[in-house]
Structure formats: structure tokens, C-alpha cells
């Protein structure tokens, strides 16, 4: 077969882009080489509908073992008794949880997308807002912190079957205990979507959602530094409160409903090559080096927070407990959209983001989200954060000056090339 040079040239171009750029997208990271090796392999050829030991195809004896390794390792990381490693993404994980728990039209309560929430937590343009009846809580205007009082009021008023906590653009920890208390009061279940801070939770730097939330979902490619994908977990299994029964009339356990909701409910054949890469990432998380990584992420966020504050930037909630900062640029006279589009010209990538109570549309936005997972993997430390903030500030304060952008780009490229990325390639 002739080699597809067009496509492989693009992969090479993308590698070069990643090597020379400053990657500040809070949801991105760089996997290890062995995670990528595990992803590009013969397991992509295998059909394995079902679960280890109970598949619908022959020849699954090897992928049974690799999927079981992924399950066992993630259980150890989060100290849970149930894990499903098949969801193709975080969105798929959340879709499966909702399919397992809810009937169309049931009420759910989640963090408003415009306040830092996620599309799959009830947004009108997503399945979660179309199939179910979404209600929302937000953040306190003065502090930028989760408005637990409104969350409780909304829960008591609307009696959702499912309360969702977790966010895409929230830099503080969560009070899972308080959310569970109101859920118990109204008979709701709690889902924590920890896609963003999962790596920090894995190493005990943040509150443990598995203690209070019935079900926990996550992506595997953000702070967990694995391949693109999703997982569903429970610390303790329990009989499903909807009264769904199995073939012998027995009440089904939640683990059974969740497994059925992933396959055959929302997915077909699992991506066994990606599950293999998840197993490798979980192996890495269990090594001491990953603790050093998570500790460095926290140090880098704090150093970045201090550097932004020194330059007069407004950080939503005043700072961060995790791996990201949400900046409100309204006092800097530049929109999120312009900031994103200008910074990318200097090879600095991040994303525009709405800030709570934003007066601009989601296409323009007043803010940007800045994250440290990827640059921490590259090897940047707290001493480098003032330099990073300085580059951002130079561009943001002079966004129409091509000479400034060009100068910053050159400095960024020279600097980043000192931090090797996939030197083996």
C-alpha cells in the first residue's frame, strides 16, 4: 500500500506546532510516549462488545486482560469499587449516566454553562438539555464561588432526580458534602464530573468526590494525562432507586445499569486500543512521579496567579485551588475572542471563556481560561510563570501591533524548544 504522505505530513506539522508553542488550554496535556504507543496498536482491530469475561465476540482473551488492568488500576487510584473504562469521552460517560438514571423529561440540576459549567450538564444545545429538563445554579456575583444557597433552593423547588457538580471553568474546590446533604433531603442522586481536576483529586490535593457523590465521571486526557476518553466510577454500588429489575425480577444494582447504559445503551464496540492506553496512564498515575507532577501543577498555578494579580488582572474568585485560572479581561479592554485570536499568532494557545454574569456572547466573551497541565508536563516550573504571564500581557496590551506579536512569538518558540517534547520522534 502506498504511504499516505499527506496525512503523515500533517501529523508531523502538528508535532512541530506542539513543540514550539506555549500550551495553556486548561483541558489539554501531553501524554507519555508509552500512552501513545499503547493507543496505536493491533487492539484497534478487535471487536469486544460486552465486558471482560462476557463478550459478544470470540478472541477477546487478551483484551479482556488489558481492559481489566485499566479497571483495576483506576479503582486503586480513586479507591472505588466500580469502574467502567469504556466511555469514548466525558460526554459519553455523562450520557450513559443519565440514560441509566433518568427518563426523558426528568429534571436535572447543574452548574450553568455561562458560570463555568459543561455542555453535558443541561445546556439547551446538548442532549442533556434536550432530553431532560435542566435547571441551574451559578456562582455568587461578589465572590465567584459556587452559590450553594441557590443550589439548595433550586433543589428544593424543582426536585431534580440528579444533581450534577463539576465544571469546565471553575478554579475552586467543591463542597460535595453539602451537595449530598440536600440531595438526600429531596431524594436525588449526585453525579460529580471531575474531568478537569481528576489528576489533583487522584493524589488527594482536593476534596474527594467519591466519598459523597453516588457516581463520578471523568475524562482521561486532562489532568489525568491519559488518552482521549472517559470513565465512570462509584465508591459503593447500591440498588437502583428507580426500581429497575433484571431478568429474574431482582432489583438491578447501579453498576449493572451503568454498564448497560454504556453498552449497549449508548456505545457499540469499545475502543480497546484506547482502553489499553488508559491502563498505561493509570499505571503512570500510580507511580511517585505523578505526585511530583500534580504538586508542580499547583505550584505553577499559584505562581501564575501571583504574576497576573501583580499586573492588575482580575481573576474570577480571586485565584485558584486547582490547575486553572479564569481571567475577566473587562478592565483590560480586550474581549476573550480577540485575546485568543491574537495570542495564537504568538504561538500561545488558550481559549476564550465566558465569565460569570458576562455581558458578551459565548462567541465573543469577556474572559480567557488559562491552565497549567500541559506546560507543567513540558517541565516549566514556578520560576517560569512570570515570564509566561509577561508574554501574555505584552500581546494583550498591544494586540494590533504585529511587531510585538512577532517578537513574543520568537521568544516563545526559542524558550519552548528548550523543553523537549517527544525527542524520540
What is the smallest separation between the CB atom of 356 and ligand DSN, expressed in angstroms? Answer: 16
Query: Using CB under 6 A as the criterion, which residues of the chain lie in contact with ligand DSN when the complex forms?
Result: 27, 118, 168
In angstroms, what CA-CA distances link 261 with 97, 188, 257? 7, 19, 6
What is the smallest separation between the CB atom of 416 and ligand DSN, expressed in angstroms? Answer: 21
Which residues partner with 255 through β-bridges? none
| Grid cell listed for 390 | 509577561
What is the smallest separation between the CB atom of 305 and ligand DSN, expressed in angstroms? Answer: 19
- Residue closer to ligand DSN by CB (options 180, 352) is 352
Phi, psi of 392 (to 5 degrees): -60, -45
What is the smallest separation between the CB atom of 118 and ligand DSN, expressed in angstroms? Answer: 6
Q: Which of 135, 141, 130, 175 is nearest to 155 (CA)?
A: 135
What is the smallest separation between the CB atom of 307 and ligand DSN, expressed in angstroms? Answer: 23
20, 75, 228, 302: which is the annotated catalytic residue?
228
222, 235, 252, 332: which is the annotated catalytic residue?
222
- Residue closer to ligand DSN by CB (options 27, 266) is 27
| Grid cell listed for 113 | 454553562
The verdict on whether 172 is a catalytic residue reads no
- Residue closer to ligand DSN by CB (options 133, 228) is 228
The span from the CA of 19 to the CA of 13, in Å, is: 10
- 296 contacts 376 by C-beta, under 8 angstroms: yes
| Grid cell listed for 146 | 459556587
Classify 130 as helix, strand or coil: helix
The verdict on whether 219 is a catalytic residue reads yes
28, 49, 237, 411: which is the annotated catalytic residue?
49
- Residue closer to ligand DSN by CB (options 344, 387) is 344
The span from the CA of 194 to the CA of 310, in Å, is: 30
Phi, psi of 215 (to 5 degrees): -135, 145
In the complex, residue closest to ligand DSN by CB: 27
Q: Which of 284, 127, 271, 94 is nearest to 195 (CA)?
A: 94
67, 112, 193, 321: which is the annotated catalytic residue?
193
The verdict on whether 47 is a catalytic residue reads yes
Q: Which residue has the cell 504538586?
A: 295
The span from the CA of 366 to the CA of 354, in Å, is: 6
Number of neighbouring beta carbons within 10 Å of residue 236: 12
- Residue closer to ligand DSN by CB (options 19, 118) is 118
Between strands 189-193 and 162-165, the pairing is parallel
- 317 contacts 145 by C-beta, under 8 angstroms: yes
Taking the CA of residue 224 as centre, how many other CA atoms within 13 Å lie in the half-sphere pointing to its CB? 30
120, 135, 217, 219: which is the annotated catalytic residue?
219
Tell me 92's DSSP state: H
- Residue closer to ligand DSN by CB (options 119, 251) is 119
The verdict on whether 239 is a catalytic residue reads no
What is the smallest separation between the CB atom of 410 and ligand DSN, expressed in angstroms? Answer: 28
The verdict on whether 193 is a catalytic residue reads yes
Query: Could you give the residue ranges of the DSSP H alpha helices within 379-422?
Result: 385-397, 402-416
What is the smallest separation between the CB atom of 47 and ligand DSN, expressed in angstroms? Answer: 28
Catalytic residues: 47, 49, 193, 219, 222, 228
Amino acid at each position: 500500500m502506498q504511504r499516505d504522505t499527506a496525512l503523515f505530513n500533517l501529523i508531523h506539522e502538528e508535532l512541530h506546532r506542539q513543540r514550539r508553542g506555549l500550551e495553556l488550554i486548561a483541558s489539554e496535556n501531553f501524554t507519555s510516549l508509552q500512552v501513545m504507543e499503547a493507543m496505536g496498536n493491533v487492539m484497534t482491530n478487535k471487536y469486544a462488545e460486552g465486558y471482560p469475561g462476557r463478550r459478544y465476540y470470540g478472541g477477546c482473551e487478551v483484551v479482556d486482560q488489558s481492559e481489566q488492568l485499566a479497571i483495576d488500576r483506576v479503582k486503586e487510584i480513586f479507591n472505588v469499587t466500580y469502574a467502567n473504562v469504556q466511555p469514548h469521552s466525558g460526554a459519553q460517560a455523562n450520557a450513559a449516566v443519565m440514560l441509566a438514571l433518568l427518563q426523558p423529561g426528568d429534571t436535572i440540576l447543574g452548574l450553568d454553562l455561562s458560570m463555568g459549567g459543561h455542555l453535558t450538564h443541561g445546556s439547551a444545545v446538548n442532549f442533556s438539555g434536550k432530553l431532560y429538563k435542566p435547571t441551574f445554579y451559578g456562582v455568587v456575583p461578589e465572590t465567584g464561588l459556587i452559590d450553594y444557597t441557590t443550589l439548595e433552593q433550586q433543589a428544593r423547588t424543582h426536585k431534580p432526580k440528579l444533581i450534577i457538580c463539576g465544571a469546565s471553568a471553575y478554579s475552586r474546590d467543591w463542597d460535595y458534602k453539602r451537595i449530598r446533604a440536600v440531595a438526600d433531603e429531596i431524594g436525588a442522586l449526585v453525579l460529580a464530573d471531575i474531568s478537569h481536576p481528576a489528576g489533583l483529586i487522584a493524589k488527594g490535593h482536593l476534596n474527594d468526590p467519591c466519598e459523597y457523590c453516588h457516581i463520578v465521571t471523568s475524562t482521561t486526557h486532562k489532568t489525568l494525562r491519559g488518552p482521549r476518553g472517559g470513565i465512570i466510577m462509584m465508591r459503593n454500588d447500591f440498588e437502583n432507586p428507580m426500581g429497575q429489575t433484571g431478568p429474574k425480577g431482582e432489583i438491578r444494582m447501579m453498576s449493572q445499569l451503568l454498564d448497560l447504559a454504556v453498552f449497549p445503551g449508548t456505545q457499540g464496540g469499545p475502543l480497546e486500543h484506547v482502553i489499553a492506553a488508559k491502563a498505561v496512564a493509570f499505571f503512570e498515575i500510580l507511580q511517585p512521579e505523578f505526585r511530583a507532577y500534580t504538586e508542580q501543577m499547583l505550584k505553577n498555578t499559584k505562581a501564575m496567579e501571583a504574576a497576573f494579580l501583580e499586573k492588575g488582572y482580575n481573576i474570577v474568585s480571586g485565584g485558584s485551588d486547582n490547575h486553572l485560572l479564569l481571567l475577566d479581561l473587562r478592565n483590560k479592554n480586550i474581549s476573550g475572542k480577540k485575546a485568543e485570536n491574537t495570542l495564537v499568532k504568538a504561538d500561545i494557545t488558550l481559549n476564550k471563556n465566558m465569565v460569570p454574569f458576562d455581558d458578551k456572547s459565548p462567541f465573543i466573551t469577556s474572559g480567557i481560561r488559562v491552565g497549567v497541565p500541559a506546560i507543567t508536563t513540558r517541565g516549566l516550573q514556578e520560576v517560569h510563570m512570570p515570564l509566561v504571564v509577561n508574554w501574555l500581557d505584552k500581546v494583550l496590551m498591544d494586540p494590533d501591533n504585529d511587531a510585538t506579536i512577532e517578537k513574543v512569538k520568537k521568544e516563545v518558540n526559542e524558550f519552548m524548544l528548550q523543553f523537549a517534547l517527544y525527542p524520540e520522534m
